[in-house]
Structures are given as C-alpha cells and as structure tokens.
Amino acid sequence: MITPHILRHTACTRMAEAGIDVKVLQTVMGHKRADITMNIYNHVDLCRIQKEFEKVDSLEKECILM
C-alpha cells in the first residue's frame, strides 16, 4: 500500500539523489535537524551505490587520458 508518508520518503530520497544541498533538503522536508532528513528519510539502495562508484570510475578514466 502506498501512503503519503511513503511518498514523502521517496521524494526525499529522489531529491538527495539529484544532489540537492542537505540544508535545502532539510528545509523542504520541514525537519529541525539534518540528521533526521539524511538518516531516516533518505534511503540508499544498491543501484544508488553503483551510480556513485561509476562517478569515481569516470574520474579515473579522465585522469588516465590526460
């Protein structure tokens, strides 16, 4: 069952994935503390981890080509 609360978690996660500044995200979510935003509402899955490591791989390739 999809609830408004689940959609709130999803929205927070997607905004974090998009690279929105943590303080801005905290304000948008209406939290007093950023740790609530980042540790409770922001979720990480295997796909997200892989995408972050791909960034490192692309940097290494750029350095090799230089």
pLDDT in tens, 21-37: 999 999 999 999 999 99
d(CA 3, CA 13): 16
d(CA 16, CA 40): 12
Tell me what the mean pLDDT of segment 39-59 comes to.
90
- State if pTM tops 0.85: no
The C-alpha angle 42, 40, 20, rounded to 5 degrees, equals: 30
d(CA 60, CA 45): 24
State the residue range of the domain holding 44. 4-65
**Closest to 26 in 3D by CA, of 15, 12, 37, 11:** 37
Please give the mean pLDDT across all residues of the chain: 91
Number of independent structural domains in the chain: 1
